């Protein structure tokens, strides 16, 4: 693994599609600055930040300051790797606001769509794509899989920088429907579920009904996982009462190791996840959603998705 973040890198075994894709990382850092973010602690990310005078992860900056040079490099790297499926991104949000203000996402999407080898562009975001980017999706709908992340209000405690309120939530839903109507495969990501795992069925039904009434019917969901760095960030950022409440949901007796992370991971307690999995699957079925549970982060550690009548994603649900 490189000591710094590469502009384009191959996927890895143990992840979606057995690593048969490429990551694109046009900049380092992310405005979202979610408390549970694993990227800020990655050695490659920290090493990359060292080259900049401002080393704050929450202040993203392009790998190449000149936008034309960046797009030229992307074009060259796509050709070099013969990249067919691109995931945008692993360590940042492609629609992070400061980059949208520079119109950089749209410029990059235009560059990618001009490359004949690229067949699929998969984007997961907590932000609303800008109109220029949406116009490119309109021209190349078959290229895109758009995944917009939304969560119940209880989970917003772990992503305070987003300042998610009812108006922004509605804007996200309206934007998702607009993109879906262009012919783009569009999925709502309930990711990662944290405090709301113990919310009542009625609360979840109200939240899911809002998504369904917006004309959206595809959902992927997953549960928060912890590693030592994330736990440290949570402990120093939110109140002791809330952090202790969150940690009490986890099973720290067994850690899981994955090739794609430097740290061992802990899951929520099996009985808590199983109970929620059965409840949310029942509600999603009732509301006629097409839905799946993320296998990479949530289907291990003893949960029985078959008992919950829930599909487990093998990567093709939103590809």
Averaged over 51-67, what is the pLDDT? 94
Average pLDDT, the chain: 93
Averaged over 37-66, what is the pLDDT? 94
pLDDT value at residue 299 = 73
3-state SS class at 164: coil
Q: Which two tokens stand for residue 199?
A: 């919310």
Could you tell me the pLDDT band of residue 17, with boundaries at 50, 70 and 90? low
127, 163, 182, 223 from 160: Cα distances, Å: 13, 6, 31, 18
Does position 259 have pLDDT exceeding 60, yes or no?
no
Does position 168 have pLDDT exceeding 70, yes or no?
yes
pLDDT value at residue 1 = 45
Please give the CATH number for the structural domain made up of 8-313: 3.80.30.30
3-state SS class at 88: strand
Q: Which residue has the higher pLDDT, 302 or 224?
A: 224
Averaged over 262-271, what is the pLDDT? 88
The tens digit of pLDDT for each residue in 179-232 reads 999 999 999 999 999 999 999 999 999 999 999 999 999 999 999 999 999 999
Residue 130: DSSP 8-state: P
The tens digit of pLDDT for each residue in 196-209 reads 999 999 999 999 99
* Contact in structure between 28 and 64 (CB atoms under 8 Å): no
Averaged over 17-23, what is the pLDDT? 79
CA atoms within 13 A on the CB side of 16: 18
- The Cα 33–Cα 35 span in angstroms is 6
pLDDT value at residue 18 = 62
Percentage helix, strand, coil for the chain under 3-state DSSP, each rounded to 5: 45, 15, 40
Could you tell me the pLDDT band of residue 261, with boundaries at 50, 70 and 90? low
Averaged over 140-147, what is the pLDDT? 97
């Amino acid at each position: 693994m490189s000591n710094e973040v590469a502009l384009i890198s191959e996927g890895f075994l143990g992840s979606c599609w057995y690593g048969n894709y490429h990551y694109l990382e046009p900049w380092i850092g992310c405005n979202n600055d979610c408390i549970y973010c694993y990227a800020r602690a990655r050695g490659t990310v920290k090493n990359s930040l060292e080259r900049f005078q401002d080393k704050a992860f929450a202040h993203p900056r392009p790998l190449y300051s000149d936008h034309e040079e960046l797009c030229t490099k992307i074009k060259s790297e796509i050709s070099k790797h013969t990249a067919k499926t691109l995931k945008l991104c692993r360590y940042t949000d492609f629609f992070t606001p400061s980059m949208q203000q520079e119109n950089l996402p749209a410029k990059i999407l235009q560059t990618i769509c001009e490359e004949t080898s690229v067949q699929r562009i998969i984007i997961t975001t907590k932000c609303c794509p800008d109109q220029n980017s949406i116009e490119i999706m309109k021209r190349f709908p078959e290229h895109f899989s758009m995944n917009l992340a939304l969560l119940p209000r209880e989970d917003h405690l772990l992503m305070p920088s987003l300042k998610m309120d009812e108006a922004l939530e509605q804007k996200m839903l309206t934007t998702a429907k607009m993109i879906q109507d262009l012919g783009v495969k569009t999925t709502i990501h309930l990711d990662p579920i944290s405090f709301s795992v113990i919310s009542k069925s009625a609360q979840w039904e109200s939240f899911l009904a809002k998504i369904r009434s917006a004309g959206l019917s595809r959902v992927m969901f997953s549960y928060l996982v912890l590693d030592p760095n994330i736990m440290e960030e949570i402990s120093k950022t939110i109140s002791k009462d809330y952090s202790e409440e969150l940690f009490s949901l986890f099973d720290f007796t067994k850690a899981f190791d994955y090739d794609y992370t430097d740290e061992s991971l802990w899951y929520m307690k099996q009985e808590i996840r199983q109970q929620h999995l059965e409840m949310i699957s029942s509600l999603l079925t009732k509301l006629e959603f097409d839905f799946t549970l993320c296998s990479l982060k949530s289907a291990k550690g003893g949960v029985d998705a078959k008992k919950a009548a829930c599909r487990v994603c093998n990567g093709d649900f939103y590809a």
